[in-house]
């Protein structure tokens, strides 16, 4: 064993005794970017780059109590890429990032069902980032939020 490897092993053993991390953090995986037309109901963990087509505020409600100064804001934004588009539900601080014609990266996005149609959302475990403008044009005639899904129970005999 080389001197550097022995020092690293001793250092790792020292970290375990000192209450430090037992092992080095696992290497981070590269994100796998998906296209809008690959989104399916009930799925999550998606990372995608989309362009905002339009943004419409549907709820802007402030709290009555002065101690609670946080207000609730919800906007429905039509976002998409070259394969299709979908309605993204932006909440609170996300509303400010979803300006028309801006390009955003949605990390750890999930599909929520609302009245039988798909909605894209990013909760507290995900992230919305504004990025440099994309070169693609949004395919607006393939809107996945206009497809209505129905839950069918299958009875096996």
- What is the DSSP code string of 97-135? H--TT-EEEEEEEEEEEETTEEEEE--TTSEEEEESPPS
Q: Tell me the pLDDT tens digit for each residue of 88-144.
A: 999 988 888 989 999 999 999 999 998 989 999 999 899 999 999 888 888 989 999
Q: How confident is the model at residue 14 (pLDDT cuts 50, 70, 90)?
A: very low
CA distance 45 to 150: 23
Q: Tell me the pLDDT tens digit for each residue of 22-77.
A: 556 677 788 888 999 999 998 999 999 999 999 888 877 766 555 556 678 889 99
Phi, psi of 84 (to 5 degrees): 165, -175
Question: 0.75 exceeded by the pTM?
Answer: no
Contacts of 123 (CB under 8 A, 6+ apart): 108, 110
Q: pLDDT at position 119, please?
A: 93
CA distance 132 to 54: 18
Q: How confident is the model at residue 15 (pLDDT cuts 50, 70, 90)?
A: very low
**What SS3 class is residue 15?**
helix
Query: What is the set of domains in the chain, with CATH numbers?
Result: 31-146 (2.40.50.140)
Phi, psi of 3 (to 5 degrees): -65, -35
- Angle at Cα 55 formed by Cα 52 and Cα 59, nearest 5°? 145
| Mean pLDDT, residues 2-9 | 53
């Amino acid at each position: 064993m080389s001197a550097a490897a022995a020092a690293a092993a001793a250092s790792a053993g020292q970290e375990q005794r000192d209450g430090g991390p037992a092992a080095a953090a696992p290497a981070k995986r590269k994100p796998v970017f998906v296209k809008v037309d690959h989104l399916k109901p009930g799925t999550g963990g998606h990372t995608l780059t989309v362009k905002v087509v339009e943004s419409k505020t549907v709820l802007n409600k402030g709290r009555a109590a002065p101690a609670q100064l946080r207000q609730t804001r919800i906007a429905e934004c039509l976002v998409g890429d070259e394969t299709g588009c979908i309605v993204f539900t932006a909440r609170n601080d996300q509303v400010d990032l979803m300006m028309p014609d801006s390009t955003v990266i949605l990390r750890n996005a999930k599909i929520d069902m609302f009245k039988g149609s798909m909605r894209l959302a990013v909760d507290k475990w995900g992230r919305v980032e504004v990025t440099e403008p994309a070169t693609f044009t949004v395919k607006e005639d393939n809107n996945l939020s206009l497809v209505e899904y129905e839950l069918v129970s299958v009875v096996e005999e």
